[in-house]
Amino acid sequence: MTDYARGWKSTHSSSPFFRRIEKRTGSSGANNRPGRSPGRFLTILKGIFRWLFQGRRSLWKKVAAVVVFLGLLGFILLGSLFVYYSFTLPDPNKLVDRVVPESTKIFDRNGKLLYEIHGEAKRTLVTLDQIPPYVREASIAVEDKNFYKHGGISFVGIARSILVDIFTGSLSQGGSTITQQFVRNAVLTREKAFARKIKEIILSLEIERKFNKDQILQLYLNEIPYGSNAYGVEAASQTFFGKDVKDLTLTEAAYLAAIPKGPTFYSPYGPHKDELDARAKTVLQLMYEQSYITKQQRDTAQNQKVSFRNIGIGILAPHFVLYVQDLLAQKYGDISLQEGGLKVTTTLDYDIQKMAEDAVAKQVPLNEKNYNGGNAALVAIDPKTGEILAMVGSRDYFDTAHDGAVNVTLRPRQPGSSFKPYVYATAFKQGMNPATMLMDVNTDFGRYGGQDYTPTDYDGKERGPVSIRQALQNSLNVPAVKTMILNGVDNAIDTAEAMGITTLTDRSRYGPSLVLGGGEVKLLDHVSAYGVFAANGIKHDPVTILKVEDKNGNILEQYQPSEGREALNPLVAYQVANVLSDKQARSLLFTNINNKLTLPDRPVAAKTGTTQEFRDAWTVGFTPSLVAGVWVGNNDNAPMKKGADGLVVAAPIWNDFMHAATQGKPVENFIQPDGMIQISVDALSGKLPTAYTPSTKTEVFTSFNVPTQPDDVHLAGGLTVLHSEKPDDPAWENPVRDWLLAHGYSYQPPTGTSGGAIDNSIALQIVAPSEINSTPWSIQITAQPVGKIAQIQVFLDNNFLGSAAGSSLDFNSSALHVDGTHQLLAVAQTTDGKTNQKSASLQFAFGKNLVVIQPRDDQALQFPTNMILESTTNIAAENVKFWARSAAGKLIPLPGNITKQELGQIFEYTLNVASTSKPARGSYALYAQIGSGTSNEVTVKIP
């Protein structure tokens, strides 16, 4: 029995409680010490039980008896535990004796030492009068506000701790007073067990009896661990600030008080600097609430910034090492990590890490000089296992001017267009495919986030019909937003989360702009999620640790490779990888397809991203065995200069790293999984070819997104009919119509057969002259009921004339048409997307039998374009000629394919003029000839 145990027993064994126990058992306390027979004790309990329940008693009396019995039993058991553990406690007089800790070593995967958490603890003892009052008060305020009032333990804190531990099984609750914390660190181990808590309570009570409060506080402030091998407030002050504790400012004192709750988690050198900042402000707030400081002192201190000392040399890959250290501390505890002599083998490959650091170090100074981009981060992962091979959290960990200690790979930042692959993967799952045609025209998508949402492409241009393959590889914004809306924001988030994105938890924040990077992601998550594309849909969570051994060589944990889990259909993952690795598809926007998103000796898939005002620039890409992502920007979210997009500032870093890391490695192709289908489809619509399809292309499909509908864009007579993805929604359809007309295409009306339902309750009325023989001529169209009509459109011979919002349209025109009967069509669209239509015949009598009706006067003509000629003459198309006359009188023939369509007694000739036949910039008069007959002239501008 220890001296302390004897002293405890001599003090308490003669207490009334123990005398009652001895009287009831007929024995001394010694007979019931741990290890002796419990027979007589059990006999006593049985007797008590019979006395409580014998005889006739009411139900309430029996319940009361049970409560009394259980309370008595618990009291006896608790007292027995206190007696038992009092025999095993150490001598409280040896309060600051410590075993010299052994260092923990962290290695890369090949055995190279990255960092040693030194076993030699730093401690410098100081007296209480050497510690400024606000340093003491900061610790009291945040750790134990009733320190000077209680007797060593807080019964409320203990009760809360026990209840939470029982119901959660975590054994992680606090509730400890300063005295208890001192006991735990100075005398006991930090085992998470109820036995340790009981010992802690007993010793805390004894210490409160032996020492006064100031002595206990002095012991505590000299003993408490602050991380980085610093024990006690003086060592911590020297370690973190390079000054004596007596010279600390109030703000610095708050930071020191904030750290002991989790020395590794709250380390100023670790990945949770933001959390440390927040906790320091909490300390200052508590000091104000407890009247230690004034409001002005609190506000001044909360607004002051502190500078921490450089962590020093002797650490390689510091961002990764400190990330691993934080993970280890969460699992093994700070004390075990700092003193347990662990040997930790990580997944990092230091050779690859150096390549990453070199790539960042090479490019960031250029970015800073040319684009005001002061920082960059890079993560590389093996997608087949999830193992992190390289992690560069900032340009230089030791560069305090750029907040180098911040690990940006763990910080949420907006990903820009690098988020698009998750949305297109969602679309592929739901039936779209790489050949699906989308209309790239500026569209008002309504109100999102309190304002009209009308995104544009990066260069402000509209490209009309494009495939998803082209839209993704050229990072076109409008088609991406349409894809997001058509397939659902929640569905896209589901895909991203299944692949590893963890930051999109508040779904109420997100709308269609999410596809353009309207949410935040962590670079580590982003790279890991792209690894799903590389691994044919299989997800491996990020892995950092391969093995942990204790100081005796016993293996505490060891990574076992797994098959992962399917996060994305393998066929969809391959489709996305196939598109992202198709450098030819980038030619729509990128003039140099062999740019920094490609590698010269192997296939590689990549995607860039750029956020508004150039605050973030990204490049993420992969081969089948290596996925890497790069972020460029500023830690304070300051914008970079215009032009600092992902291809310019991030892709060079990514390319340098990928080129170096893959050198000498086998060339791998993306393996096409079973179930993929390759067929030819119409080159424009992406649907099955018909007799009118002018050209085809081969595309890859899955069984669930292979096209089954025939091409409905190319019709008989060479007619090309294009509509929006939602032809019955004017907000989507009208921009397509306007683009078609501006680019020389004819526009056909959307009817019920084009996807919208017909509403027969709509009544249309057309008022038009019986004969039109002069200009201007006019028509009036009205629709009923008034409040139900969204817009009216009017067509002549299926060529668009005009439109108006609401339920009436008054159309005036000076356009000529060839003499004869023409069909007028009025289409009314309801507010819920339905349509109805009415037609009427118009008789033209201008004395004209040859008229150019497209383009129109004053139109800016974009190429390729169509010219449409109406004639009453039925001749072969090759006998029709189109001309452009310059302002100087030069006559220029317009070559191209001419198709003929018969519209009753009128014939329509359409000339398709290719971009290669575009005349020089300027104003031109356009006209046509059939034999000796000459049409009217229209004046156009060619930009």
- Across 715-819, the runs of DSSP E, i.e. the strands, are 763-767, 777-784, 789-796, 799-805, 808-813
Task: Assign 654 to helix, strand or coil.
Answer: helix
Check whether the bond before 785 is cis (ω within 30° of 0): yes
- Across 359-432, the runs of DSSP E, i.e. the strands, are 375-381, 388-392, 412-413
Say how far apart CA 15 and CA 26 lie, in whole Å.
16
Residue 488 backbone dihedrals phi, psi, to 5 degrees: 95, 130
| Closest by CA position to 861, among listed 880, 839, 845, 884 | 884
Q: Residue 128's beta-bridge partner residues?
A: none
Say how far apart CA 445 and CA 443 lie, in whole Å.
6
Angle formed by the axes of helices 233-241 and 250-258, nearest 10°: 110
Q: Which helix (H) or strand (E) holds 313?
A: none
Say how far apart CA 138 and CA 237 lie, in whole Å.
14
Q: Is residue 468 within 8 Å of residue 448, measured between CB atoms?
A: no
| Closest by CA position to 792, among listed 777, 804, 775 | 804
Candidate list 103, 139, 143, 725, residue with the active-site label: 143
Task: Assign 620 to helix, strand or coil.
Answer: strand
Candidate list 417, 418, 475, 807, residue with the active-site label: 417
Q: Is residue 906 within 8 Å of residue 820, measured between CB atoms?
A: yes
Q: Give DSSP secondary structure letters for 165-183.
A: HHHH---------HHHHHH
Name, in order, each residue with C-beta under 8 angstroms of 841's C-beta and a sequence gap of 6 or more: 821, 822, 823, 824
One-letter amino acid of 343:
K
CA distances from 630 to 389, 514, 541, 643 (A): 14, 20, 19, 17
Q: Residue 207's beta-bridge partner residues?
A: none
CA distances from 819 to 156, 748, 828, 847, 922 (A): 98, 22, 28, 6, 32
- How many Cα atoms are found within 13 Å in the side-chain-facing hemisphere of 569? 20
End-to-end CA distance of the chain: 101
Q: Is residue 112 within 8 Å of residue 344, measured between CB atoms?
A: no
Say how far apart CA 207 and CA 14 lie, in whole Å.
21
Instruction: For the chain, give percent helix, strand, coil, nearest 5.
Output: 40, 25, 40
For residue 891, the tally of other CB atoms under 10 A from its CB is 9
Angle at 301 between CA 299 and CA 303, to 5 degrees: 70
Q: Is residue 406 within 8 Å of residue 397, measured between CB atoms?
A: no
Task: Assign 374 to helix, strand or coil.
Answer: coil
Name, in order, each residue with C-beta under 8 angstroms of 399's C-beta and a sequence gap of 6 or more: none
Residue 111 Ramachandran class (φ > 0 left, ψ -120 to 50 alpha, else beta): left
Residue 922 Ramachandran class (φ > 0 left, ψ -120 to 50 alpha, else beta): left
The beta-carbon contacts of 19-23 under 8 Å, at least 24 apart in sequence, are: 21/76
417 is catalytic: yes
Say how far apart CA 381 and CA 352 lie, in whole Å.
11
Q: What residues are labeled active site?
A: 143, 417
